[in-house]
Chains A and B, each alone.
Chain A
């Protein structure tokens, strides 16, 4: 059976992480930003699983479950906030939302 080399998977995960990070910093749409965060979390999951397999240690797999649960909660709250924000401000663009400044 063809086994995928770990470094391939790790490189793949790092790439996805950087894509997410770039999106997080560059995009202005909050919906997209949330998706980018999701992307980053999942790339981390991928790395965890890979390391877990490399070292034969189940702790990595357990972490993944935690992250999935937290990510689910986070996206639920994030989307809720997003809807509330859109209802009050009629916008989901971060350039329009600088309430913390003053």
Chain B
């Protein structure tokens, strides 16, 4: 049955891909419109969603603790002692991810029908989108690390293809390349981590791995070489996560990835692919729990990423860039949660974030679509009147990401902050970092919201006529708005359905001793107050556009640093890319051309010369050959009779 979940998007990919590649592209025929291709792709992913729901219901009907469905499709790799089956497995964790991927995927596919209606090659777009969903589902359904890696690489490929979808624009093609390369750096860590797991534990299947780990350590903390191995595994895999999930130091690709079409940003770079790092950590939670060092690194990287990305988002003016940095920041939150041991809270935030960030991106897409491809929020304003439906849903998402109760973002963010404060691995600094980030999040999201929908209309009325998007784009937004508003209730503190559901995979975290339980309510109030403060500050500041200008002039240096994203891209360019380029040049000229090429050419010249010389012996004269024959005969006989002379 689980194979069906994968099969439908694959079929959709093949239909659209072959239709486009075989029938449309080569003959320059009129391309199939977005409606036909989009319907194929949307129904494919919807069927997959339906099977996912069936699987979820079946899981829910099973006894607790034994909720797992496993399908062994075929024997995949058999080399020496390594035998690997193509096992698909659904458990509480992956069932949630399947629902999020296929569910939000369906909404975004439907939305794309409208968004890509003016595009020239929607068939190609939908084929890629289906292929992405297929890979992503392989990633979460795979029962072993190599299978997860297969999906991991597949989504990387699709991300590359979709970022560079409008590849005629060299900047967009470059953005795709950057994403791919940054991800490859992370993948190296992933691969090494995978190898280390295999050499340490002798298996790569998740359930077998869990058994081995439980058997070997049995609740005891590992020590010595084993601790080093576990820490190494966790850190190497985390390097993979920093690439895929856009954390420091590899986060630089995600903001550039906004070059892709907006539905892609919503699906891949907000809701699904970038959360696969969290999925990996949650999947291997039993391993991460054994390594305090890895957890601490993860918490700090997550916290710092959340903070740094939020500071950058404060000054950006491209609507999609603001959302991109916001995504990086929220992903940092999730890793912060995982790092303090509260993986369940991280997964919770993955789900709520998928709802409201997909909604924000799609809302932004709707705005961009209505504004004729304008992305600069300083050139918008007053769109409330022109796009009332989009305004409504984006407002819901805005309240959710700011963390106001009872919207979904409040519950997950609050749980993360509480865990950062109260769990054994957490501490006050991490909590303060998270709180500060929460305030900035409220601030920059309010800024974006005000700039886009409120105030005066700053666009050129002669050129731009903002209009509401068609129903096919707005309908998915409504669904997401409902989810963003109410999705948080699956994780109400102390009565969390989600934490209970995930219990077999990620154990529930209890606050450290000495932390007063009433603190939880105090912190909740604090985080709401902080969010309100951020919103209020933004409201005061951006009501009148002259005030931010004055502020900008006064803090010109800070603005410059933030506007240029802390100069990280320039730093990487100078410290890594250029030296590597120079070394490569030197190796090319000094070694490849000067040594290797010369050796190869030398062999060619030597055989040419020896051929030229030896051909002199070939006279063509019959008698000469006869003489050689005789000579050979005499020599052979002489050798046989007298031995070597």
Looking at A47-55, A58-66, A75-83, A93-101, the stretch in contact with chain B turns out to be A93-101
B626–A98 CB distance below 8 A: no
Closest to B618 in A: A101
A25 & B621 in contact (Cβ 8 Å cutoff): no
Q: A46 contacts the other chain (Cβ, under 8 Å)?
A: no
B620 and A100 contact, CB distance less than 8 A: yes
Report Cα–Cα, A56/B584, bound state, in Å.
81
With a cutoff of 8 Å between Cβ atoms, the chain A residues found around residue B627 in the complex are 25
Within 8 Å of chain A (Cβ to Cβ): is B518?
Answer: no
Q: Does A16 contact B (CB under 8 A)?
A: no
A47–chain B nearest beta-carbon distance, Å: 15
Query: What is the bound-complex CA distance between A29 and B627, given in angstroms?
Result: 16
**Minimum CB distance partner of A98 in chain B:** B620
Given the complex of chains A and B, what is the CA–CA distance between A99 and B619 in angstroms? 9
Known: A21-B630, A25-B627. A33 touches B619 (CB 8 A): no
A33 close to B620 (CB less than 8 A): no
B168 within 8 A of A: no
B610 located at the interface, meaning its Cβ lies under 8 Å from any Cβ of chain A in the complex = no
Q: Are A97 and B622 in contact (CB under 8 A)?
A: yes
Q: Is the CB of A99 within 8 A of B620?
A: yes
Residues of chain B at interface, number, CB under 8 A? 9
Instruction: List which A17-42 residues lie within 8 A (CB) of chain B.
Output: 21, 24-26, 28, 30, 33
Q: Which residue of A lies closest to B625 (CB)?
A: A100
Q: Does B623 contact A (CB under 8 A)?
A: yes
Q: Complex Cα distance A38/B345, Å?
A: 101
Distance from B633 Cβ to chain A, minimum over Cβ atoms (Å) = 10
From 582 to 622 in chain B, residues with beta carbon under 8 angstroms from any chain A beta carbon are: 618-622
Given A21-B630, A25-B630, is A98 in contact with B623 using a C-beta cutoff of 8 Å? Answer: no
Chain B residues with Cβ below 8 Å from A94 are 621-623
Quote the shortest CB–CB distance from B206 to chain A (angstroms).
Answer: 71
Q: Please state if A101 and B626 are interface contacts (CB–CB under 8 Å).
A: no
CB nearest to A100 among chain B residues: B620
Q: B residues within 8 A CB of A98? A: 619-621
Give Cα A97–Cα B621 distance, bound, in whole angstroms: 7
Q: In the complex, what residue of chain B is closest to A102 when comparing beta carbons?
A: B620
Bound-state CA distance A94–B621 (Å) is 7
Contact B630 A101 (CB under 8 A): no
Q: Which A residues touch B623, using CB under 8 A?
A: 24-26, 28, 94
Residue in chain A with minimal CB distance to B627: A25
Complex Cα–Cα for A100 and B625 (A) = 11
Given contacts A21-B630, A25-B627, A25-B630, A101 and B622 within 8 Å (CB-CB)? no
Complex: A21 Cα to B623 Cα, angstroms: 11
State how many angstroms separate the Cβ of B614 from the closest Cβ of chain A. 13
Q: Give the most central of A24, A28, A99: most B CB within 10 Å.
A: A24
Nearest CB on B from A17, distance (A) = 12
Smallest CB gap from A99: residue in B: B620
B620: chain A residues at CB < 8 Å are 97-102
Q: How far is the CB of A66 from chain B (nearest CB, A)?
A: 20
Question: What CA separation (Å) do A33 and B621 show in the bound complex?
Answer: 13
Q: Which residues of B contact A99 (CB under 8 A)?
A: 620
4 extra interchain contacts, Cβ-Cβ under 8 A, other than A25-B623, A94-B622? A21-B630, A25-B627, A25-B630, A94-B623
Residues on A facing B (Cβ under 8 Å):
21, 24-26, 28, 30, 33, 94-95, 97-102
A–B complex contacts, Cβ < 8 Å, 12 sampled: A24-B623, A25-B626, A25-B630, A28-B623, A30-B622, A33-B622, A94-B621, A98-B620, A99-B620, A100-B620, A101-B619, A101-B621
